[in-house]
Amino acid sequence: MAPLKRLCDLNTRVLREDTDPHFDFLYADLAAVNLETRKVTPRLETFSEAPSRARRLVFIGDSLIPSLTGSTNWVQTRPLFIKGVELASIVFSTGFFTVTPRPGLDSRFLNYTLASLPILQQLEAQSSGVTMKGFSAEALGNQKIPVPDIKTQCAIADYLDTETARIDALIEKKQRMLELLWEQFESRLTAIFDVRGVPTPALSVVVRIAEGQVDPMVEPFASMMLIAPDHVESGTGRLLQATSAAEQGAISGKYLCEAGDVIYSKIRPALRKVCIATDQCLTSADMYPMRPSPELVPRYLSYFLLSDRFSSYAVLESERVAMPKINRDAFGRIRIPIPTRLEQLRVVDELDAAQSHLRSVSDRVSRQSESLREFRQALITAAVTGELEVPGVAA
């Protein structure tokens, strides 16, 4: 066992402050890295306009560890291994720590060791924060890791490369199956609203958007549930969080909704965030709380707002401003097909049944994927600590 700082170099490569101001590069911050899939979605930056944290350079063979994470997501803090030119060409935020192995330490073995549960638990114990928890470079450097001979390191890394690839492929296969099911649902949604021979009034005619705001710091509003865009699942209409305005520490004005009102997130419409108020509640200023007229069934309206027919229009309109957002005038101009109320109810019943089935499948796949990820980490931990007999490695 030896401290990491004696075996590796930490945070040694950075983008120099005297870099050409016109230098363009791909940049990734913490939000650009999906901790579950390990996929990175960088954006193009120019040095003179880039955030001051856009400095961390990585080379092939480095391990990249987020220094901050959600307080309940420590298992996802496992490092991102830089194993290709594509990732090595990205400048990362200083919110990541880089670990570069010195001679005598296999880079893959190092990465697996940093992903093992004992290391993550020790880092968690030395971290602080409430919403986000973070640890220091010093805490990382003081972590002691096992150091078998290089032949053993390579044998363990080869074994884990094979086994974790199988697990990751199975997780990816399950996720792709789920994506295909949702694509089928969205295709049906599109077909339902592509109808002819029914009235198609503008939304502004059949929907009233709430105006005037209330103070969420006074009763009875402080005790009411407050719904914001982050509380709604993208593309499904499912509410993910149900907490009061007081619990969220809300201080700015909010809209008041009644049970049955349809709530739509006007920012980043590509995310398709819609839900229905089940009780009297509040919404953030980033949402449109709306009350449909008697001839329009609320659930029918919510499905229309999730459809490609509406979303394509909303995305196109939102691109006209810096922060993607659809304004009230543009929102009210889109036309909605309105068949008879009986036909609307039939459509809602069909879509509710299909969505209920999809949610059931989605929840089951999520549980299976989580179990596979836990098994993956248990396998890594057992292999790097010697608890698992690895082919080609002496007991």
Q: What is the pLDDT of residues 95-127, one digit of tens each?
A: 899 999 999 999 999 999 998 988 888 888 887
Spatial distance between the Cα atoms of 232 and 240, rounded to a whole number of angstroms = 6
Phi-psi region of 38 (alpha: psi -120 to 50; beta: other; left: phi over 0): left
Spatial distance between the Cα atoms of 337 and 196, rounded to a whole number of angstroms = 8
Spatial distance between the Cα atoms of 138 and 336, rounded to a whole number of angstroms = 59
Say which range, 33-37, 109-113, 381-385, has the weakest mean pLDDT.
Answer: 33-37
Spatial distance between the Cα atoms of 263 and 214, rounded to a whole number of angstroms = 17
Domain ranges of the chain: 2-147, 150-176+341-395, 196-338
Q: How confident is the model at residue 395 (pLDDT cuts 50, 70, 90)?
A: low
Residue 206 and residue 336 in contact, taking contact as beta carbons nearer than 8 Å: yes
Residue with tokens 């009235």: 199
107: number of Cβ within 10 Å: 21
Q: Kindly report the CATH number that applies to the domain delimited by 2-147.
A: 3.90.220.20
Domain 196-338 has CATH 3.90.1820.10: no
pLDDT for residue 48? 93
71 pLDDT more than 60: no
pLDDT in tens, 279-307: 999 999 999 999 999 999 999 999 999 99
Say which range, 278-292, 311-325, 329-343, has the weakest mean pLDDT.
Answer: 311-325
Task: Give me the mean pLDDT over the 142-167 stretch.
Answer: 93
Residue 57 and residue 88 in contact, taking contact as beta carbons nearer than 8 Å: no
- CATH fold match for the domains 2-147 and 196-338: yes
pLDDT for residue 317? 87
Spatial distance between the Cα atoms of 108 and 123, rounded to a whole number of angstroms = 20
Task: Give me the mean pLDDT over the 191-203 stretch.
Answer: 89
CA-based Rg of the chain, rounded to a whole angstrom?
25
Q: How confident is the model at residue 73 (pLDDT cuts 50, 70, 90)?
A: low
Q: Which residues are bridge partners to 24 per DSSP?
A: 46
Say which range, 136-140, 231-235, 313-317, 321-325, has the weakest mean pLDDT.
Answer: 321-325
Q: Taking all residues of the chain, what is their mean pLDDT, rounded to a whole number?
A: 89
Distances in whole angstroms, Cα of residue 155 to Cα of each of 147, 148, 150, 317: 13, 11, 9, 55
Its pTM stands at: 0.74
